[in-house]
Amino acid sequence: MVPELLAGLDRDRTRVVILPAHKDVSDLEGAFDLLMTMERHGSMLVLAGLGGRLDHCLFNLQLAARHLADFDGITFEDDRCLVRPLASSNALRLLPRTTVSFVPVTGEVELSLTGFEYPLSHAVVQRGSTRTLSNVTCGLVQQVIVERGTIVMIAWKVQSDIP
């Protein structure tokens, strides 16, 4: 970690853990393991977990989906998008005209969407389907109900040009 970043951290609220370079798990998996050992189960914000190498990004999102039940919520954020694995009922407050995709990470999901240009009601979507690609929010509140399975939501921070 860069010394300037360490100097800017609030020492009362931050614990820095430096993992060895050679290990059998990724840094994020090590973080999940540590949080589970510490019995921490609140909300988790992952920064710098989406950029860089595509293989790391894909594994990070799969890790988050696997640990979703262990935490109150897991969010990845960068300057371009907000990403969350979702299961069960989720009320969102995304800006109107935000482009949002829902990627099934389990073999099959059943979900309902309200507050979107393309609403769904009890739709069954297979992993690999593009049916839930590039939806657009309408209004200030959206409801995503995942009745079966797990999805990863990707919300882009730049609003859509769709009228």
- Residue pLDDT, tens place only, 68-122: 999 999 999 999 999 999 999 999 999 999 999 999 999 999 999 999 999 999 9
Identify the pLDDT of residue 162: 54
Q: Which residue has the higher pLDDT, 2 or 36?
A: 36
Identify the pLDDT of residue 152: 97
Contacts of 70 by beta carbon, 8 Å cutoff, 6+ apart: 32, 36, 41
Closest CA to 150 of 110, 116, 113: 110
Identify the pLDDT of residue 163: 53
Mean model confidence pLDDT for the chain: 90
Task: Determine the average pLDDT of the residues in 134-154.
Answer: 96
Task: Determine the average pLDDT of the residues in 28-32.
Answer: 89
Could you tell me the domains of the chain? 1-79 (no CATH), 80-163 (3.40.50.10240)
Identify the pLDDT of residue 40: 87
d(CA 138, CA 96): 5
Residue 159 has pLDDT above 70, yes or no: no
Identify the pLDDT of residue 2: 61
Identify the pLDDT of residue 99: 96
